[in-house]
């Protein structure tokens, strides 16, 4: 009876492949285990998705599994199924979806390596061949990766034909060499007393102070001690260890250790206050815990204004799940931006919480992942990829700020939305899902209205210290166009905003200023000829960065010196248009010389832990003003913040994206929610050139319901989500013509593949708004269909078009189901 394994390779290749299971691997080769298989000319990592032993197939002609890489299967059957769904829904290969569910850096790859052979001397052909052989002789038989051969010749591509000639002439050999993934379980040397050490005469004979100290340390510990710790605690050296081992008193061995899992470790966890929940919280919590207790798979939309106590509800719901012995996943948009929230979870649940974040090394991630699977942690907090955490017995999934665009992954595939995967995973596991936000996505609002989700509302802020709830802060609009007309606008900050800031400084209160553009000035232009510096790799203008006097591209990172005069006409009249955070910072320094400002944007937060340092300093009152990009809008809770100013509310509002208004409303409502959260009353000032824009008008009134109704009506009229389905297609290539040709062919194929589907529109191809990024030309086509059409029918049409269109090398088609950014 042949033992067979169905394997999905962890690459963009479609399909499931059958391998023979050698006897010696039979017990480890189970579904969910990672395996090494030969695939074409390479060896690749794959995952077994099924064992199909005994089915009559010509097993002898099948290739065997080369190795099983996991002692315990990496993926549970639950996660295998979930990734299958993600692949089907987002139109990617199953292997790509599985890869997203595994901790990164664990794949084993092979690379081709070239070794020089004895026949090298007799080579008389192509002189470049001699260059290669010389280089190989220099590395003395240790071989050279094929990719490096190109470098030896000073070329970009590997001369494959030449290598084959050299191989045929017996001058070199090309091998596949297995290269391990970078992440492996970390072991460190540990020490322990030998079993009978205390009873042995050698023990009594020990006299050296260091030796005695070391033995003491080991005797007092109940378990083996890391050698490094033992040396530190005893003052002994490694030669002391050696001599004790030599006398048979101490044993050394390697044991698994966990790398430091997150940089929230050092934060002291204050005991959580025992709060009495207010009535809206009680109502919401009861509904959620009821569902958890009854094991009713239910999704809740917890819609509570900023400061209404949503996090408190999550904490107690988590407690309920944990009390039942279940585990939970909490998704947060960006860990680095929400240190306060993470701290609260830590304070409540201590060591039972695993925090996953993007700045973990592959090794740290692997360690955390293994411990989650082993049930050491019962709560996992993390960004979107945490939805694939291998928790056992899932009872609750919380998605905080469920409207956040960062829950959607774009590159690489799978292009999944973590909120949707959360709802699905919870549902399949029979668990409860809570989506929380002050400004829910319109998709979730529609799902609640349709009865798919249960809506829970918390319309008031939490009352403070026996007094009535802090009201949401009043919002004022400053019309920048009018300010300019009456010649009152000197810089980026209008008169009213300056006044309000001055008042805060006088009263020793704090201000948060949002300017959603980093750098100094977004555009440099020549007053005489209109020249503007553009990026050589991207179709965007370069941003002026002040301290370094550089021009930078925010898409590809290109950086060049700012010219002193116009390179086109020689004029010195170069003007910097618009204001980024650096310019606003400079203006504040001019207007309020004594004010202490903290700036938080991508440029000030490149170092690990930088967000937290800035926010902690602001929290301790070491600054009067926190100025930054949308990073300052999220989740912050500082009692002394009484003013929030939005320097330019129009950024992003006028983008040609049907979600532009929704995004603007959400950002304004979020940042406004930072003001006056405690006993000091707050105020919000929005500066704009479009005071009549609905997103602003509804934000002014804190009217989410009104905004949602207005916006949903527009979406319905235009057939956009949540009333329509969209699939975005992005075509990329090195030349404009080639990219457009690919886009046309694919789009034509899409027309014919979808012609039988009623109501489907194929829009495009059109050059993307930014038609070139990192030297790649970009063309878009949009597939639009009524909601009533099943997603699978649309998917089938796209798959058919994909199968029919040949993609030339260097070109790409990115398929994005339910896209969130359309430019």
Residues at the contact surface with Zn ion, assessed by CB under 5 A: 526, 528-529, 531, 535, 537-538, 553, 555-556, 558, 566, 568-569, 571
> Out of ligand ADP, Zn ion, none, which partner does residue 304 contact, by CB within 5 to 8 A per kind?
ligand ADP
Q: Residue 9 or 635: which CB sits closer to ligand ADP?
A: 635
Q: Residue 332 or 355: which CB sits closer to ligand ADP?
A: 332
Q: Is 364 helix (H, G, I), strand (E, B) or coil?
A: helix
Q: Decide if residue 819 touches ligand ADP (CB under 6 A).
A: no
Q: Residue 311 or 642: which CB sits closer to ligand ADP?
A: 311
Beta carbons of 769 and 783 less than 8 angstroms apart: no
Name the one range near ligand ADP by CB under 6 A: 218-226, 229-237, 300-308, 807-815.
300-308
Among 45, 106, 227, 306, binds ligand ADP (CB under 6 A): 306
DSSP string, 226-275: EHHHHHHHH---HHHHHHHHHTTSEEEEEEE-PPP--TTTTS--PPPP-P
Q: Residue 87 or 526: which CB sits closer to Zn ion?
A: 526
Beta carbons of 509 and 641 less than 8 angstroms apart: yes
> Out of Zn ion, ligand ADP, none, which partner does residue 281 contact, by CB within 5 to 8 A per kind?
ligand ADP
Non-local CB neighbours of 582 within 8 Å, separated by 6+ positions = 518, 519, 520, 545, 546, 547, 599, 603
Q: Decide if residue 309 touches ligand ADP (CB under 6 A).
A: yes
What are the CA-CA distances from residue 70 to residues 51, 73, 176, 437, 688 (Å)? 16, 6, 22, 39, 57
Specify the residue for token string 């209205």: 449
- Pairing between β-strand 225-226 and β-strand 187-193 as defined by DSSP bridges: antiparallel
Q: Residue 603 or 703: which CB sits closer to Zn ion?
A: 603
From 176, 161, 190, 320, select the one nearest 250 (Cα to Cα).
190
Q: Decide if residue 382 touches ligand ADP (CB under 6 A).
A: no
Length of the chain: 823
CA-to-CA distance for 251 and 194, rounded, in angstroms? 6
Beta carbons of 365 and 356 less than 8 angstroms apart: yes
Q: Decide if residue 308 touches ligand ADP (CB under 6 A).
A: yes
Beta carbons of 406 and 667 less than 8 angstroms apart: no
Q: How far is the CB of 777 from Zn ion (least distance, A)?
A: 13
Q: Decide if residue 339 touches ligand ADP (CB under 6 A).
A: no
Q: How far is the CB of 620 from ligand ADP (least distance, A)?
A: 17
Beta carbons of 299 and 426 less than 8 angstroms apart: yes
Name the one range near ligand ADP by CB under 6 A: 117-125, 238-246, 303-311, 348-356.
303-311
Q: Decide if residue 338 touches ligand ADP (CB under 6 A).
A: no
SS3 content of the chain, % helix, strand, coil (to 5): 35, 25, 40
> Out of Zn ion, ligand ADP, none, which partner does residue 531 contact, by CB within 5 to 8 A per kind?
Zn ion
Name the one range near ligand ADP by CB under 6 A: 272-280, 447-455, 656-664, 800-808.
272-280
Q: Residue 167 or 457: which CB sits closer to ligand ADP?
A: 457
Among 45, 311, 515, 670, binds ligand ADP (CB under 6 A): 311
Q: Decide if residue 645 touches ligand ADP (CB under 6 A).
A: no
> Out of ligand ADP, Zn ion, none, which partner does residue 275 contact, by CB within 5 to 8 A per kind?
ligand ADP
Q: How far is the CB of 277 from ligand ADP (least distance, A)?
A: 5
Q: How far is the CB of 521 from Zn ion (least distance, A)?
A: 17
Q: Decide if residue 637 touches ligand ADP (CB under 6 A).
A: yes
Q: Residue 311 or 687: which CB sits closer to ligand ADP?
A: 311
Among 310, 357, 419, 674, binds ligand ADP (CB under 6 A): 310
Compute how many other C-beta atoms are within 10 angstroms of the C-beta atom of residue 821: 13
> Out of Zn ion, ligand ADP, none, which partner does residue 521 contact, by CB within 5 to 8 A per kind?
none
CA-to-CA distance for 695 and 709, rounded, in angstroms? 12
- Angle between the N-to-C axes of helices 160-168 and 127-138, in degrees from 0 to 180, rounded to the nearest 10: 70
Name the one range near ligand ADP by CB under 6 A: 79-87, 310-318, 351-359, 530-538.
310-318
Q: Decide if residue 333 touches ligand ADP (CB under 6 A).
A: no
Q: Residue 275 or 808: which CB sits closer to ligand ADP?
A: 275
Q: How far is the CB of 811 from ligand ADP (least distance, A)?
A: 46
Per DSSP, the chain holds a count of helices (H) and strands (E) of 24, 33
Beta carbons of 478 and 650 less than 8 angstroms apart: no
Name the one range near ligand ADP by CB under 6 A: 273-281, 681-689, 730-738, 787-795.
273-281
Strand ranges across the sheet with 353-355: 353-355, 379-382, 327-331, 394-399, 432-437, 299-304, 454-458
Q: Decide if residue 778 touches ligand ADP (CB under 6 A).
A: no
Among 139, 209, 275, 569, binds ligand ADP (CB under 6 A): 275
> Out of Zn ion, ligand ADP, none, which partner does residue 610 contact, by CB within 5 to 8 A per kind?
none
Name the one range near ligand ADP by CB under 6 A: 25-33, 191-199, 299-307, 794-802.
299-307
Quick one: which H or E segment has residue 45?
A: strand 42-51
Q: Residue 467 or 607: which CB sits closer to ligand ADP?
A: 467
Q: Decide if residue 796 touches ligand ADP (CB under 6 A).
A: no
- Pairing between β-strand 144-145 and β-strand 641-646 as defined by DSSP bridges: unpaired
Q: How far is the CB of 770 from Zn ion (least distance, A)?
A: 9
Q: Decide if residue 116 touches ligand ADP (CB under 6 A).
A: no
Q: In the numeric block, which tokens belong to residue 393? A: 């017995």
Beta carbons of 436 and 314 less than 8 angstroms apart: yes
Q: How far is the CB of 438 from ligand ADP (least distance, A)?
A: 7
Q: How far is the CB of 561 from Zn ion (least distance, A)?
A: 16
Q: Decide if residue 304 touches ligand ADP (CB under 6 A).
A: yes
Residue-wise burial string across 782-797, b where 16 or more C-beta atoms lie within 10 A, e elsewhere: bbbbeeebebeebbeb
Q: Is 536 helix (H, G, I), strand (E, B) or coil?
A: coil
- Within 459-478, the residues that bind ligand ADP by CB under 6 A are 462
Q: How far is the CB of 359 from Zn ion (least distance, A)?
A: 24
Q: In the numeric block, which tokens belong to residue 96? A: 């790509």
Q: Decide if residue 303 touches ligand ADP (CB under 6 A).
A: no
Q: Residue 95 or 307: which CB sits closer to ligand ADP?
A: 307
Among 32, 129, 307, 765, binds ligand ADP (CB under 6 A): 307
Beta carbons of 283 and 302 less than 8 angstroms apart: no
CA-to-CA distance for 709 and 449, rounded, in angstroms? 11
Contacts with ligand ADP, 232-271, as mask; x by CB under 6 A: ----------------------------------------
Non-local CB neighbours of 548 within 8 Å, separated by 6+ positions = 559
Distance between start and end Cα atoms, the chain: 55
Q: Residue 438 or 540: which CB sits closer to ligand ADP?
A: 438
CA-to-CA distance for 478 and 644, rounded, in angstroms? 13
Beta carbons of 51 and 31 less than 8 angstroms apart: yes
CA-to-CA distance for 181 and 799, rounded, in angstroms? 32
> Out of Zn ion, ligand ADP, none, which partner does residue 537 contact, by CB within 5 to 8 A per kind?
Zn ion
Beta carbons of 652 and 663 less than 8 angstroms apart: yes
Residue numbers at the binding site for ligand ADP (CB under 6 A): 275-278, 281, 304, 306-312, 462, 637
């Amino acid at each position: 009876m042949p033992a067979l394994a169905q394997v999905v390779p962890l690459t963009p290749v479609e399909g499931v492949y059958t391998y023979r299971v050698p006897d010696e691997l039979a017990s480890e080769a189970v579904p969910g285990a990672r395996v090494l298989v030969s695939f074409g000319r390479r060896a690749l990592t794959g995952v077994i998705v099924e064992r199909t032993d005994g089915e009559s197939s010509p097993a002898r002609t099948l290739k065997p599994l080369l190795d099983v890489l996991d002692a315990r299967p990496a993926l549970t059957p639950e996660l295998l199924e979930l990734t299958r769904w993600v692949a089907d829904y987002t139109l990617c290969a199953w292997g790509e979806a599985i890869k997203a569910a595994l901790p990164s850096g664990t794949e084993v790859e092979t690379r081709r390596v070239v070794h020089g052979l004895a026949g090298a001397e007799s080579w008389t052909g192509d002189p470049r061949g001699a260059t290669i052989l010389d280089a190989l002789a220099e590395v003395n038989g240790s071989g050279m990766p094929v990719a490096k051969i190109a470098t030896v010749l000073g070329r970009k591509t590997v001369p494959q034909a030449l290598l084959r000639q050299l191989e045929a002439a017996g001058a070199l050999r090309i091998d596949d060499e297995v290269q391990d993934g970078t992440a492996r379980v970390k072991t460190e040397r540990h020490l322990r007393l030998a079993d009978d050490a205390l009873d042995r005469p050698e023990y009594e004979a020990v006299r050296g102070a260091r030796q005695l100290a070391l033995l003491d340390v080991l005797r007092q510990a109940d378990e083996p001690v890391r050698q490094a710790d033992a040396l530190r605690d005893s003052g002994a050296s490694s030669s002391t260890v050696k001599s004790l081992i030599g006398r048979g008193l101490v044993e050394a061995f390697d044991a698994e250790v966990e790398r430091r899992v997150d940089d929230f470790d050092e934060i002291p966890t204050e005991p959580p206050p025992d709060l009495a929940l207010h009535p809206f919280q009680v109502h919401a919590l009861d509904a959620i815990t009821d569902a958890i207790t009854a094991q009713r798979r239910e999704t809740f939309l917890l819609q509570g204004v900023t400061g209404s106590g949503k996090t408190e509800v999550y904490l107690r719901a988590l407690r309920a799940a944990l009390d039942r012995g279940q585990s939970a996943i909490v998704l947060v948009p960006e860990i680095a931006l929400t240190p306060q929230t993470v701290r609260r979870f830590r304070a409540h649940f201590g060591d039972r919480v695993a925090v996953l974040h993007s700045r973990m090394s592959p090794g740290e991630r692997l360690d955390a992942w293994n411990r989650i699977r082993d049930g050491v942690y019962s709560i996992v907090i993390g960004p979107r990829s945490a939805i694939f955490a291998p928790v056992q017995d899932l009872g609750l999934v919380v998605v905080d700020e469920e409207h956040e665009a960062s829950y959607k992954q774009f590159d690489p595939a799978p292009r999944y939305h973590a909120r949707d995967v959360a709802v699905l995973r919870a549902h399949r596991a029979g668990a409860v899902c809570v989506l929380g936000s002050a400004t829910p996505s319109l998709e979730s609002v529609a799902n609640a209205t349709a009865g798919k989700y249960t809506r829970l509302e918390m319309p008031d802020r939490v009352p403070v210290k026996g007094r009535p709830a802090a009201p949401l802060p009043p919002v004022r609009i400053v019309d920048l166009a009018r300010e300019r007309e009456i010649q009152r606008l000197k810089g980026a900050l209008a008169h009213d905003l300056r006044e309000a800031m001055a008042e805060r400084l006088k009263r020793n209160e704090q201000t948060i200023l949002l300017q959603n553009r980093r750098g100094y000035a977004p555009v440099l232009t020549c007053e005489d000829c209109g020249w503007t510096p553009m990026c050589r790799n991207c179709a965007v203008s370069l941003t002026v960065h002040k301290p370094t006097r550089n021009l930078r591209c925010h898409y590809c990172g290109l950086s060049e010196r700012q010219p002193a005069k116009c390179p086109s006409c020689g004029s010195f009249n170069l003007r910097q248009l618009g204001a980024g955070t650096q310019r606003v910072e400079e203006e504040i320094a001019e207007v309020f010389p004594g004010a202490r400002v903290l700036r938080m944007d991508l440029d000030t937060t490149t170092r690990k832990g930088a967000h937290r340092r800035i926010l902690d300093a602001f929290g301790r009152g070491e600054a009067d003003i926190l100025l930054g990009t949308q990073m300052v809008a999220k989740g912050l809770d500082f009692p002394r913040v009484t003013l929030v100013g939005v320097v330019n509310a129009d950024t992003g509002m006028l983008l040609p994206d049907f979600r532009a208004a929704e995004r603007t409303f959400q950002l304004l409502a979020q940042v406004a929610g930072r003001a006056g959260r405690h006993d000091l009353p707050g105020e919000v000032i929005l500066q704009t050139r479009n005071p009549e824009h609905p997103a602003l008008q509804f934000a002014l009134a804190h009217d989410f319901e009104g905004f949602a109704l207005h916006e949903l009506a527009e979406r319905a009229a235009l057939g956009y989500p949540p009333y329509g389905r969209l699939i975005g297609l992005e075509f990329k290539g090195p030349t404009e013509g080639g990219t457009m040709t690919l886009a046309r062919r694919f789009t034509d194929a899409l027309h014919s593949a979808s012609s039988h589907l009623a109501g489907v529109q194929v829009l495009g191809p059109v050059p993307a708004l930014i038609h070139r990024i990192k030297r790649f030309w970009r063309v878009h086509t949009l597939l639009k269909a009524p909601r009533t059409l099943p997603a699978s029918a649309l998917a089938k049409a796209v798959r058919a078009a994909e199968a029919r269109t040949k993609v030339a090398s260097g070109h790409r088609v990115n398929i994005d189901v339910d896209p969130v950014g359309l430019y």
